[in-house]
Amino acid sequence: MVAFASALPSSLKMKALNEKYLLKRLARSLVPTAVSQRSKQPYRAPEGKAFFGPRPPEYVGDLLSSAQVNATASSNRTRSRDSCGNSAMARPSASRTTWRSSVSLSTQILVDRFVNHFWADFMEPLIQELRAFIVDNFLFGDASAPFAFADEDSFQERGIVDSTGILELVCHLQETYAIEIKDEELLVENLDSLSRVARFIERKRQGRPAVIGGR
């Protein structure tokens, strides 16, 4: 979801004062008109007791610790300390403090899930999918020595995928991951190892520039 939202053009993210424009368009046939066209409602943060009650989830104490908060570049350190205290177990008593604490926790969860653990949670499964395809289609299903290869190993240098095989790989990527690969993107920098292919797919999914020939 984060990758999809990041790839959206700016024109679909903000339509002047028409908030949640894309979501409204998608849902207009699923929800009553009174709901899809109503004015924006104030956001209420979850009650503080859900996170700071007598038995808070274990991740709260970890993510709102001073070390974790200070390690998050997007957090304002002074404000985070004021709102959360030095201990995540502090219970907010005022609604404003509750809101600020919940926002801090939301930010920490986002960073932890999609920044700090992005490779392990998202890239590793992708690499395993790619490895299975390479082994099944180019190594006759045999991943044992001497055919075993690391994520960073060059397909060409190891003799795993030749020029004809690259075209087969490209077709697989386009069909499986719904991306368009242009002729100028057929480079070793994009397609010559499992890790390079995985990073290339993610850049394409997010609408970020891929490595282009001649640049």
pLDDT tens for 109-120 read 888 877 777 767
| Confidence label for 45 from pLDDT (cuts 50, 70 and 90) | low
Distance (Å, rounded) from C-alpha 107 to C-alpha 76? 11
- Environment class of 65 (CB within 10 Å of its CB; exposed 0-12, middle 13-18, buried 19+): middle
Tokens 């995540």: give the residue: 88
Q: Would you say residue 79 has pLDDT above 60? A: no
Identify the residue whose tokens are 């002074």: 78
CB–CB of 172/133 below 8 Å?
yes
pTM (global) more than 0.75: no
CATH architecture group of domain 118-205: Orthogonal Bundle (1.10)
Lookup: tokens for 196: 């390079």
Average the pLDDT over each of 76-80, 146-150, 180-184, 208-212 and give the range with the smallest value: 76-80
Q: Which residue has the tokens 């082994």?
A: 135
Which residue from 140, 205, 143, 169 is spatially nearest to 4, judged by alpha carbons? 205
CB count in 10 Å sphere of residue 62: 13
Domain definitions of the chain by residue range? 2-36, 49-116, 118-205
Confidence (pLDDT) at 73: 55
Answer yes or no: is pLDDT of 202 > 60: yes
Q: What per-residue confidence (pLDDT) applies to 95?
A: 62
Q: What are phi and psi of 137, to 5 degrees?
A: -100, -20
Query: Is the peptide bond between 9 and the residue preceding it cis, with omega within 30 degrees of 0?
Result: no
DSSP codes joined into one string, 3-30: HHHHHS-HHHH-BTTBTTHHHHHHHTTT
- Confidence band of 159 (pLDDT split at 50, 70, 90): very high
Average of per-residue pLDDT across 32-57? 73
**pLDDT for 42:** 63
pLDDT in tens, 117-151: 776 777 889 999 999 999 999 998 987 877 899 99
Residue 135 pLDDT: 94
